[in-house]
Structure 1
């Protein structure tokens, strides 16, 4: 290779390196230009002040400087906009991460709310004070019948825990039902709203005795009340301590059954037709107590 070609190649290489460095330092040069312009304005103002011609040079210099600054500022904003486009995938990723964190927090909050509800149910059971002649067996509802959703449930305690047929089942509010079937470690409970449920009751104000029965529609009825009885709406009905239709079963007195919601006279009969709202709904049952007779 001759000397001329070598000089040309060496010159091209130097120019390439210069171009790359120029590109990398482009932003630095813009800032440097602004600095030099501002410095020039200051020096010119000092010189003009010394010679008495400050007002003559102020306007041109300031205009030139302002134009340059605005140009650099616009270029800076354009560069920032381009950079934001490249940062968009990172922003979207962080947004998805935050959405996941929010969903996790919501799930944990729901879990804490359910724990609080369970604690409230358990506190309700602790408030119950059955007569001393009755024992209690705590149980959890583990299944419901599919054919009569609100009329029977299954609990996780049975004969091995001392549970017997017709034992009364309650929670912190009132009567839930009675034991209909007993296994070794589970029992089926007939809810108070079942058409097969019947229990002797007494009203708290008028002290009237009757029979509370389930209607199968989530409600109760009160039978054997004379047409001229002084029964009133919203009277509370409690267990009387008797078992009118079945042998055995723990039947303590004074447990809440429900509230009188409708009283209708039956002209053809000598009794009243009484509708009762149960104190305990089959919906949402979780923990119950089975009342057992002490031997």
Structure 2
């Protein structure tokens, strides 16, 4: 036990000498480098995973946007196909109209197509509104026709005209009068409306040679309506006591409930 302090002192002295000759800092630095090497990839991998997730999210959003855009484009294509079909139909009708109107003789007419956009439910057989007006060259008293069952038919004339719309006074209106003639006999008369689907052929002489089924067309008198446009057919000849003239009922060759596209004639 007497040598115990000496042993402790010798041990401490040896440790001191080792610390002098042994570079502890370099070893500590080496350990730091080693552990940094082991742990360094972990943050990089985490960042890569986060980036991949972000890219995946962006790709999903992009896919959804592309899908919505494709759907919108398909809808636009379908709309364009519908418009193209309607346009081709109108072009064919225009060609047929021009051919049919060649019977008008020397006068050439320009055809303007328009769509019916409104009708008054309380005055169904009086007027209708079309989507063309002054800006499209529409004027009052322009004949309005329709292409129905491969034939041109008169439906009325323009009345009140605004910048982008116009009101059409139909043949069925009670104030509508159109000079006409019997295609078979060439006898002239007037067609007037009665605010019903059918028309009245007025001012025929009592001895007029008129029969059921006779075709009535415009006469061209008055220079508002070109001659030769079909108006209707005789379907009833009532027995009358009037010794001066007689009235005959005319059935138009169109359906008043199927008027969608109309054509206006201008010289």
Q: Same fold (TM over 0.5)?
A: yes
Which residue, 181, 188, 193 being the options, matches 1:214? 193
Taking the aligned partners of 2:218 and 2:194, their CA distance within structure 1 comes to 18
Q: For 1:264, what is the secondary structure of its paired residue?
A: coil
CA contact (8 A) 2:94 2:111 kept: no
Aligned residue number for residue 182 of structure 2: 203
Corresponding residue to 2:215 among 208, 215, 236? 236
Question: For 1:137 and 1:228, how far apart are their aligned partners in 2?
Answer: 41
Instruction: Please say if residues 134 and 250 of structure 1, whose CA atoms lie closer than 8 Å, have aligned partners that are also in contact.
Output: no
In 1: Cα distance, 2:216 partner to 2:146 partner: 16
Paired residue secondary structure (1:218): coil
Rg bigger for which structure?
2
How many aligned positions are there? 177
- Write out aligned runs for 1:85-164 (5 A): 123-129=92-98, 130=101, 131=104, 132-164=107-139
Q: Cα distance 1:117–1:279, how it changes in 2: closer, same or farther (>3 A)?
A: farther
**1:198/1:211 contact within 8 Å kept:** yes
Q: Superposition pairs for residues 1-295 of structure 1, below 5 Å?
A: 123-129=92-98, 130=101, 131=104, 132-172=107-147, 173-243=152-222, 250-293=224-267
Distance in structure 2 (CA, Å) of the matches to 1:283 and 1:267: 35
In the aligned structure 1, how far is the partner of 2:181 from the partner of 2:117? 32
Instruction: Write out per-residue CA displacement over residues 118-145 of structure 1, whole angstroms, 9 at most, x where no aligned residue.
Output: 9767644431123443221111111111
1:267/1:146 CA distance change after superposition, 3 Å: closer
Deviates most, 263-272 or 284-293: 263-272
CA separation of 1:122 and 1:282: change in aligned 2, threshold 3 A:
farther
SS where residue 128 of structure 1 aligns? helix
Which whole-Å CA distance do the structure 2 matches of 1:218 and 1:181 have between them? 22
- TM-score with structure 1 setting the length: 0.55
2:69 equivalent in structure 1 = none
Q: How far 1:290 moved relative to its partner?
A: 0.5
Shift of residue 278 of structure 1?
A: 1.1
TM norm structure 2: 0.60
Secondary structure of the equivalent of 2:178?
Answer: strand
- Structure 1 stretches of at least 4 aligned residues deviating more than 4 Å after TM superposition: 115-122
CA contact (8 A) 1:122 1:287 kept: no
How big is the alpha-carbon RMSD for the aligned residues of Structure 1 and Structure 2? 2.5
Q: Distance in 2 between matches of 1:182 and 1:216?
A: 22
1:289–1:183 distance in 2 versus 1, CA, 3 Å:
same
CA–CA distance in 1 between the matches of 2:91 and 2:251? 24
C-alpha separation in 1, matches of 2:211 and 2:112: 35
Q: Is the 8 A contact 2:233 2:250 kept in 1?
A: yes
- Structure 2: runs of 5 or more not aligned: 1-80
Aligned twin of 1:27:
none
